[in-house]
Structure 1
Amino acid sequence: MRYGPEHKGEVHQKIVKDGSRRVRTEGITGAAVSAVMRDAGLTHGGFYKHFGSKDELLMESVCEAFREMSDSLVEAGERSQPGTAWKAIVKAYLSVEHCDHAEDGYPLTALAPELARADKAMKAPMLGELVKYKNRMLPFMPGRRTADKERAFFSIFSTMIGTVEIARMLPEPAMREKVLASAREFLLRSF
């Protein structure tokens, strides 16, 4: 059976999306190529038709995770009332749904410790993704000047990342919700 010219691109994107979910769930070292390919309905042997290495798949998967999450938070911000977009973002990020579904969440929440130990070759592109992410979030952040918005971004997102990491470690749903609610209330009062 012959496939159209767009088929390879569609398959490639499916592999990246599946890899993105798997890397957020299992971490950088846990996302095996064979499992990602199986998730995409393909054999391990077809991997090199799409990627030069596992690192290439990993980078594209993490970039996809940043894009998916920023799209979701931008949508939450755009649906809110003027001046309250950052609050909508905080509420969406610090929700039980986000906490309970790492596969759909922010990549730094799932991968920060691993990325901190990654080699320089991986850190440079991750910095680029973080800068793009920050730039997409900046218009929604509280503050009048860009410098104020950047400070708010780093304070808000660092707090949210750490909160979700801690909440995900807790065994009881009530405990997770208490941690999320505490951080949500703190951030909403702080800016």
Structure 2
Amino acid sequence: MGHSQADKAATRARVLRITSRKIRAEGVTRPGIAELMKEAGLTHGGFYKHFASRDDLIAQAAAVALAEGSAKMERAARGNEQSARAGLVDAYLAKRHRDRPATGCALVTLGAAAGRGDEQVKQAYEKQVRAYLELIEGLDGDSEDARAEAMLTLSALVGAVLMSRAVADEDLSDELLTTVARRLKEPAPGTVTAG
């Protein structure tokens, strides 16, 4: 008896979820098909019922990983009633985000791979960059140069997490997160503040 379409879709979604976590934690070159399928409770042979190739799986998993970040960023921005910007910055530059790359923002872990990757991965990455820029730009609505500030903010967020994960010195790692967070929460140039 064959699997129903719903079972097939659920299996595919499970493989994509597992792969999206693996590539955030280990990069796009590391996880092999056999390892991923074993973790999903499937055989290597079953892989081709769901994906055309490993590259197809990686591209789709990258899109899943990147898209998961939007909801998290929006929740973080809404989590601080006094300042949506501060809420977003604090959540993104938290130690728990640094310490959990498998569930963290894929812009950090997939940046280099997207730069060297196929067009599908680049398009998924670009789509997420644009979504984050739009979200951040909306937080600085009174800024004279909200787009430029959004670009600077997003670059600082991603760069700070990337570097904080890459350095061996835990104190320096923590300092990167706290210093960048503090500076990003300062009013943007040209922002009208009550006072």
TM-score by length of 2: 0.86
1:57 matched residue in structure 2: 57
Shift of 1:107: 1.1
1:105 matched residue in structure 2: 104
Code of the aligned partner of 2:54 = K
Unaligned 5+ runs, structure 1: none
Unaligned 5+ runs, structure 2: 189-195
Alpha-carbon separation, structure 2, partners of 1:139 and 1:187:
13
1:131 matched residue in structure 2: 130
Alpha-carbon separation, structure 1, partners of 2:42 and 2:147:
42
1:144 matched residue in structure 2: 142
Contact 2:66 2:125 survives alignment (8 Å): no
Contact 1:170 1:176 survives alignment (8 Å): yes
Contact 1:77 1:140 survives alignment (8 Å): no
Code of the aligned partner of 2:69 = M
SS of equivalent residue, structure 1 residue 6: helix
2:168 matched residue in structure 1: 171
Change (3 A) 1:70 1:124: closer
2:114 matched residue in structure 1: 115
Equivalent residue runs for 1:70-85 within 5 Å: 70-81=70-81, 84-85=83-84
Identity percentage over the alignment? 27
Alpha-carbon separation, structure 2, partners of 1:97 and 1:186:
20
1:26 matched residue in structure 2: 26
Pair 1:69 & 2:77 matched: no
Contact 1:99 1:164 survives alignment (8 Å): yes
More displaced, 99-108 or 115-124? 115-124
- Please say which structure displays the higher CA radius of gyration: 2
Alpha-carbon separation, structure 2, partners of 1:140 and 1:42:
43
Shift of 1:131: 2.4
Alpha-carbon separation, structure 2, partners of 1:63 and 1:150:
24
Change (3 A) 1:133 1:37: farther
2:192 matched residue in structure 1: none
Contact 2:78 2:87 survives alignment (8 Å): no
TM-score by length of 1: 0.87
Code of the aligned partner of 1:91 = D
Change (3 A) 1:48 1:132: farther
Please give the root-mean-square deviation of Cα atoms over the aligned residues, in Å.
2.1
Change (3 A) 1:14 1:90: same
Alpha-carbon separation, structure 2, partners of 1:34 and 1:133:
34
Residue by residue over 1:125-160, the C-alpha shift from the partner in whole angstroms, topping out at 9 and shown as x without a partner, is: 43234324434x246421337x83322221111001
More displaced, 8-17 or 111-120? 111-120
Contact 2:21 2:102 survives alignment (8 Å): yes
